[in-house]
């Protein structure tokens, strides 16, 4: 973990922090309360991950297997009909990363109200073989300028407590924005900065009560 990291504390300007500005804090984020099932699942996952790191040849073998068994373009077209619908094509960051129809996230309310859109967002539920009490995950792309509102609609609809960014914040010379230009919608942006990750505590002020979520960006 990051116990050895040295977080820094400072404000974004010389004046007292404005409610809509980032507030940098050295305080660690509050501990997340896990159910016994969640704790056992996370412990088992961490154990298996640690074991797998000791077997680089096995990791390479599994990756090669995935590459050799990639879905064919025709099969993708058959299983990802909503994502390839003309109403949704411009909502995909990459043309070969499309959610399957069977496990895609369906928005109850989205910016695109056309029936053909079918509540589409480029996001998929990730299931596990564990009990239903275990938290589920969503795999999604970084929001595009015109899918930004749908992204946050999904976060709120699915009650996502944490957003983990595993990719760079700059893609093809374009900055990926999770906050968007409308920063006025957010407040109390507390930031905890460590050597290997950056965590932002964001509160969406247009919700009653305000919806709070952690944005964690792995920098290395």
**The pair of three-digit structure tokens given for residue 56, joined into one six-digit string:** 């680089």
- pTM value surpassing 0.75: no
Give tens-digit pLDDT for 157-198: 988 888 888 877 665 555 566 765 555 566 555 667 777 777
Is position 17 within any domain? no
Is position 82 within any domain? yes
Is position 21 within any domain? no
Give tens-digit pLDDT for 14-33: 333 333 333 434 444 455 56
Distance CA(158)–CA(105), nearest Å, equals 9
What is the span of the domain harbouring residue 86? 70-214
Q: 39-48, 129-138, 169-178, 202-211 — which is least confidently predicted?
A: 169-178
Is position 125 within any domain? yes
Strand pairing category for 137-140 and 120-126: antiparallel
What percent of the chain clears pLDDT 70, i.e. is strictly above it?
Answer: 67
Contact 140, 163 (CB under 8 A): no
Contact 37, 55 (CB under 8 A): no
**pLDDT the model gives residue 200:** 80
Q: 48-57, 71-80, 186-195 — which is least confidently predicted?
A: 186-195
Q: Give the CATH number of the domain where residue 130 resides.
A: 3.90.190.10
The number of distinct structural domains making up the chain is 1
Is position 144 within any domain? yes
DSSP state of 150: H
Is position 49 within any domain? no
pLDDT, mean over the chain: 76
């Amino acid at each position: 973990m990051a116990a050895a990291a040295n977080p820094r504390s400072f404000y974004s300007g010389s004046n007292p922090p404005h409610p809509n500005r980032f507030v940098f804090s050295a305080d660690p984020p509050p501990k997340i309360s896990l159910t016994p099932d969640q704790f056992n699942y996370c412990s088992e996952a961490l154990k298996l991950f640690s074991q797998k790191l000791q077997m680089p040849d096995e990791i390479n073998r599994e990756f090669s297997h995935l590459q050799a068994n990639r879905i064919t373009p025709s099969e993708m077209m058959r299983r990802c009909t909503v994502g390839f619908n003309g109403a949704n094509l411009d909502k995909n960051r990459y043309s070969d990363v499309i959610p399957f129809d069977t496990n895609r996230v369906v928005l109850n309310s989205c910016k695109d109200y056309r029936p053909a859109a079918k509540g589409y967002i480029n996001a998929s539920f990730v299931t596990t073989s564990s009990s239903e009490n275990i938290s589920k995950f969503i795999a999604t792309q970084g929001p595009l300028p015109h899918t930004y509102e749908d992204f946050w609609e999904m976060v709120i609809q699915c009650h996502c407590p944490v957003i983990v960014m595993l990719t760079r914040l700059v893609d093809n010379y374009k900055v990926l924005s999770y906050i968007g230009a409308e920063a006025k919608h957010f407040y109390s942006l507390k930031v905890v900065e460590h050597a290997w990750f950056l965590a932002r505590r964001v509160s969406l002020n247009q919700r009653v009560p305000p919806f709070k979520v952690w944005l964690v960006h792995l920098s290395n």
